[in-house]
Amino acid sequence: MSMAKNTETDYLSVRSCYANPNGVDISVPFTVSLDAEILRPVVDAQWRLVYMFDMAQTRLEVSLADCAVGNIPCGPVSVNLDCRIDPSGIERKVLLNCGLLSVKLFSGEVEVACVNLVNEVQKRKNENGTRVYVRTTWGV
């Protein structure tokens, strides 16, 4: 399922952003791919992938991946961030809330762009009857 739209900031115009594989156990490694146009040069650029678990009175942010790339000129850019969500130590009721997977672009320590993907975890039974937690991420 895709929520297709063109997301744009002062620095970035997004053509697509998605997670693959999708619809799998939450602990399975996956890649977040971003295809975009850089609208303004970015100095000392770094991409960061952050997962935010949203709870009633607090939010838990977990860093999943980062990639320093130096300076990025204007023009097309493709980024692939490999990651894994480690569910150990996270309450199951927190896992089952919708979360936010954010691809953030930094210039030095200043965030200049962010693309958000909705992440949902559902409790299901596999073919052996074992309870598993399945991650689905909706892309742009």
Tell me the pLDDT tens digit for each residue of 91-133.
887 778 788 999 999 999 999 999 999 999 999 988 899 888 9
Asked if pLDDT for residue 82 goes beyond 70, the answer is yes
CATH code, 76: 2.60.40.1490
Question: Looking at residues 51-65, what average pLDDT do you find?
Answer: 84
Computed over every residue of the chain, the mean pLDDT equals 89
Instruction: Check residue 2 and report its DSSP letter.
Output: B
**Nearest Cα residue to 135 out of 88, 75, 80, 95:** 95
For residue 106, tell me if it sits in a domain: yes
Residue 1 has pLDDT above 50, yes or no: no
Question: Is residue 139 classed as helix, strand or coil in its secondary structure?
Answer: strand
- Tell me the pTM: 0.86
Residue bearing the bigger pLDDT, 98 or 69: 69
Structure confidence at residue 14 (pLDDT): 95
Residue 17 belongs to some domain of the structure: yes
Structurally, how many domains does the chain consist of?
A: 1
The answer to whether 86 touches 27, Cβ cutoff 8 Å, is yes
Whether residue 21 has a cis bond before it, omega within 30° of 0: yes
Q: Answer yes or no: are the C-beta atoms of 117 and 101 closer than 8 Å.
A: yes
Compute CA distances 52 → 6, 35, 41, 58, 60, whole Å: 23, 22, 28, 10, 6
- 73 belongs to a structural domain: yes
For range 57-81, the mean pLDDT: 92
Q: Does residue 28 fall inside a structural domain? A: yes
Q: Inform me whether the pLDDT recorded for 136 exceeds 50.
A: yes
Q: How high is the pLDDT of residue 2?
A: 37
Domain range for 84? 7-138
Question: Which position has the token pair 């930094």?
Answer: 106
Q: Is 21 helix (H, G, I), strand (E, B) or coil?
A: coil
Cα dihedral angle (6, 9, 12, 15), rounded to 10 degrees? -10
| Residue 1 maps to a domain | no
| Residue 74: predicted pLDDT | 97
